[in-house]
Amino acid sequence: MQDNMVKPFNAASFYQYLREGKLMGVQCRNCGQLSAEARPMCQTCHSAEIKWFEFSGEAELGTFTCISIVPAAMAEKGYGRDNPYCSGIVILDEGPRISARILNVDTLKPQNIHIGTKMVLDLNDLEDDKPMLSFRPV
């Protein structure tokens, strides 16, 4: 990925890239370590030689939970006891793990949601003011 102007390595830039349709993380120029979280320093070798890295958006479900006691922001979207939402950790095909909302699964029957399910980045429900990373089954 080529940027004429490098964005700062922070959450604001991460979400701006999401709004642009890109799932970006960082890669250490020193040791090659990938991180799905934008951070200005390598978590492995502590180098500050970092660059943006574009992930494919393909992953598998590592773990999940269905949430029925919801925060106010999710209640405003219609989630609650009778309509839980799913949150999980996805393992990106490139290796890093990241927390995300899991869409298009039956949250009323979590026994039908399976670890290892192939997932893909879903930007259809992305809101400009409060973007939320989301994946759905392939």
Q: Is the dihedral of CA 28, 47, 25, 65 positive or negative?
A: positive
Mean pLDDT of all residues belonging to the chain: 93
Q: Which amino acid is at 107?
A: T
What domains does the chain contain, in order, with CATH numbers? 11-54 (no CATH), 58-137 (2.40.50)
Q: How confident is the model at residue 6 (pLDDT cuts 50, 70, 90)?
A: confident
Q: What is the pTM of this model?
A: 0.90
Among 120, 95, 90, 87, residue whose Cα is nearest residue 26: 95
pLDDT (tens digit per residue) in 110-123: 999 999 999 999 99
Q: Please check whether residue 100 is in contact with residue 37, taking contact to mean a CB–CB distance below 8 angstroms.
A: no
Is pLDDT of 127 > 80?
no
How far apart, in whole angstroms, are the C-alpha atoms of residue 87 and residue 107? 10
Pairing mode of beta strands 24-28, 34-35: antiparallel
